[in-house]
Amino acid sequence: MRTPALTRRLRPFTSTIFAEITELARSTGSVNLGQGFPDTDGPPGMLRRAEHAIGEGVNQYPPGAGEPELRAAIGAQRRADYGIEHDPGSEILVTVGATEAISASMLALVEPDEEVVLIEPYYDAYPVAVAMAGGAHRSVPLRAERGRFRLDTAALRAAVGPRTRAVVLNSPHNPTGTVFTADELAAIAEICRENDLLAITDEVYEHLLFDGRAHTPLATLPGMAERTLSISSAGKSFSVTGWKIGWVCGPAELVSAVRAAKQFTTFVGGAPFQPAVAHALNEERPWLEELRSGLQRKRDRLTSGLRRAGFDVLPSEGTYFVCADVRPLGYSDGAEFCRALPERIGVAAIPPQVLCDDPEPMRHLARFAFCKRDEVIDEAVERLLELG
């Protein structure tokens, strides 16, 4: 047998610190603030709707584009929240989570000699999706400067070349908790228009913004609707990360290309969950508002605990995550810090530098998740106070 078995294009992505830290967290009985999923359930009405759907026999292949009821609900949500009109028949495609929407978009739209620009730190699935399509990625950094994370727009401009096909934007941003500013969005849109690039936007945290901020989809900027694929998912909005119901919206030609790729990877998925997510989008806005305000309180709870423990904390404007500077505690490297933490005090966190090609701008940081019950956050804080 050929060794190693894994293809060259996937070999760069095998060693992950996530697995290492998850194992450390388990073996030490740590409070795990590394993992970005909630420890409470989604809206009861949505959960019952899924149970009923299974009982009522919604268990066979749904239509290739997704249940019409769900596509209509996605369209209605985007119209109500952003004033964007999509034809549910041709401009909305239901996918197996946002992850499949991203990988199918790359498979459908990126030629093997083309490049995709990522903003780093990036969600770990992006470079792998580009590589599976045979493309190459270039990355441009967010930098922690003057108390927040800022996009280096000059670096973004410089990363675009003749073979660039697309830019990926994730706002609100995992792992930094940053919401891109109007100026940053305008710069990204301008670079896309000037260079005739596609934009692929990962908006899975579109409802989880804090302090009165509102989400602005890149597709709403001038000249962007025709070149943007907007991706979202039920997982983060309704606390069902295991359901893997996502979607991609955009111009019919692009969505139909993504559907061509998706058709032969999974075809369809999650039949009984689709009507449940439609129900959630249509009826569970009050629950979602509670989730958002609850997460904002949890962010404040963890942020103040981290500050008491001696960290400098960067502001989290959205998502489930907050990043803390480990240098005031005598560490210079976030990865070293995150590897030591479970054994030292029984808390697990993730170093965002592992989500970068160039770890330097993120070297001093650790990412903590606050999508956990208050008593879990409090226990973590109590243990973190032992560091002082």
Binding site for ligand PLP (CB under 6 A): 97-99, 123, 170, 174, 202, 204, 233, 235-236, 241, 244, 246
Token pair recorded at residue 347 = 């808390």
Distance CA 310, CA 329 (A): 6
CB of 1 to ligand PLP, least distance (A): 32
Distance CA 369, CA 322 (A): 7
Token pair recorded at residue 367 = 């990412």
Token pair recorded at residue 327 = 């240098």
Under DSSP, the state recorded for 62 is P
Task: Kindly tell me which of 167 and 384 has the beta carbon lying closer to ligand PLP.
Answer: 167
CB of 29 to ligand PLP, least distance (A): 25
CB of 248 to ligand PLP, least distance (A): 11
CB of 388 to ligand PLP, least distance (A): 31
C-beta nearest to ligand PLP: residue: 97
Task: Kindly tell me which of 77 and 99 has the beta carbon lying closer to ligand PLP.
Answer: 99
Contact (CB, 8 A) for 132 and 106? yes
| DSSP string across 110-125 | --TT-EEEEEES--TH
Task: Kindly tell me which of 97 and 305 has the beta carbon lying closer to ligand PLP.
Answer: 97
Task: Kindly tell me which of 30 and 237 has the beta carbon lying closer to ligand PLP.
Answer: 237
Task: Kindly tell me which of 225 and 355 has the beta carbon lying closer to ligand PLP.
Answer: 355
Q: Which residues, other chains included, contact 257 with Cβ-Cβ below 8 Å and sequence gap of 6+? A: 108, 109
Task: Kindly tell me which of 246 and 275 has the beta carbon lying closer to ligand PLP.
Answer: 246
CB of 198 to ligand PLP, least distance (A): 18
Task: Kindly tell me which of 230 and 233 has the beta carbon lying closer to ligand PLP.
Answer: 233
CB of 365 to ligand PLP, least distance (A): 17
CB of 204 to ligand PLP, least distance (A): 5
Q: For the chain, list the strands marked E by DSSP.
A: 31-32, 92-96, 115-120, 136-145, 148-151, 164-170, 198-202, 228-233, 245-249, 312-313, 321-325, 347-348, 365-369
Distance CA 209, CA 316 (A): 9
Token pair recorded at residue 91 = 């401009």
